[in-house]
A and B are shown apart, each in its own frame.
Chain A
């Protein structure tokens, strides 16, 4: 059986889209009611802490998406798997949107807490750089009409952009920044109370579902585009 044949993938993509569509609004409603109503306000920030429930998952997803794009580009460069470029290309738009959401929500949160919308500190500057990398990656496909060249240039952009990812992650530890360090640590105890951690993880799951949905729809369009192109070639 050839699972990775485009026709087989197409069927699975359609099934997955239908499944996510069927549960998404229930999950979104549950996550939003926990984040906006049932979770407590913060002892210092009050209700503006609720911005965090969108800001943090959006930032996580934007970093994870770019890492995926870069790894797929590396694997494609080494093993020449055509499908990986399609997947990478389909992740990029939603990753870019989440980068923008993270920056904008962070800015809205910054005004009441820090006293400023914007600060050119290491974390925020490196996040803007991530947005630029996403933008260039997407623009490559729009500007270069020859598909193979576009793939090559986009891969280089993605691989160079990968270096920026650990810089974003560790910027708050390496340099003095206005942005606070991470509250949730991979090793060791978190400095966020469980009554706020739960809605945060729920929101992360919800936005991840949304990200998957948009990715699958874009991926579906890409497969259709390729099939149409091949069809014309045969005629």
Chain B
């Protein structure tokens, strides 16, 4: 049997901790939209109050066979496999930027379907493998 003092301290701590966890949960819940680093094309489609003058980030996959480079301008489509958004960008792109890979574009919306980016970030996925294995997988897929 534990001494009374120990029990009292344990319950005090339990109350303190659960209250703090609840408080943090409320704060994070209220901040939810601001914590998101980027919006998906679906988020933008369903959103009612879009500020076209404010910089936002749009993220998703670069749709395959949509990457088009002419002169200085890079045009591609970001998709989340439900909705799409067309992006235009002038500038340098990171090494990992490619079709079928994750991307985050920073810039301004022109309308709900067209986005002018002034910065492109590549989003890396959680897959790590040696190049030989990737080639084997490619051949198997054929």
Contact = CB atoms under 8 A, between A and B. Distances in A.
**Chief secondary structure at chain A's binding surface:** loop
B133 interface: yes
Nearest to A156: B16
A163 B24 contact: yes
B46 to A, nearest CB: 15
B130 A176 contact: no
A216 interface: no
B6 A176 contact: no
A178 B129 CA distance: 20
Contacts of A121: 37
Most buried by B among A41, A44, A52, A175: A44
Interface string B62-105: 00000000000000000000000000000001111100000010
Nearest to A52: B128
Interface stretch (A5-13, A28-36, A131-139, A191-199): A191-199
Interface stretch (A87-95, A108-116, A142-150): A108-116
Interface residues of A, number: 39
Contact of A195 (B36, B38, B94, B130): B130
Contacts of A86: none
B123 A178 contact: yes
Interface in B1-40: 6, 9-10, 13, 16-17, 20-21, 24, 28, 32, 35-40
B6 A178 contact: no
B96 A44 contact: yes
A166 to B, nearest CB: 9
A191 B127 CA distance: 5
**Chief secondary structure at chain B's binding surface:** mixed
Given A78-B9, A113-B122, A177 B37 contact: yes
B132 interface: yes
A180 B126 contact: yes
Contact of B126 (A112, A122, A182): A182
B124 interface: yes
Given A40-B130, A74-B13, A180 B123 contact: yes
B128 A176 contact: no
15 contacts: A40-B132, A43-B134, A44-B96, A45-B96, A45-B124, A114-B122, A115-B96, A119-B37, A119-B121, A159-B13, A163-B20, A176-B36, A178-B104, A182-B126, A183-B128
